[in-house]
Amino acid sequence: MVRIQRRVSRKRYLGSKYIYEYERISLPIPRKFHKTVKPFLKQDLNMDLATKGSYLVITLNPAKTTKSTTATTEIFRLSGWDEID
């Protein structure tokens, strides 16, 4: 059994005069599913969320990389941008 967790973060700015606030919602993955999830670590995943009756269905699929992204990375590498880290 898991629970969806909600966390509100507050950041102060301009000499603590104003507060920027945002909400994070997370779903912990139980230990028994770690072996199943490990192959997907460090991958971009597309997420689809649906409700079916009283069920919440979360579907994660590996995102497909586009040629333009790899081409842009290769252009930067060829022009010497990889030396600036």
Average pLDDT (61-82) is 61
Residue 60 neighbours by CB distance under 10 Å: 13
DSSP 8-class letter at 43 = S
* Helical spans, DSSP H, in 1-50: 34-37
Judged against a pLDDT cut of 90, whether residue 83 lies above it is answered with no
pLDDT tens, 3-43? 999 999 999 999 888 999 999 999 999 999 999 999 899 88
Q: Which domain holds residue 11?
A: 5-83
Largest CA distance in the chain: 54
User: What is the reported pLDDT for 15?
Assistant: 86
Structural domain total, the chain? 1
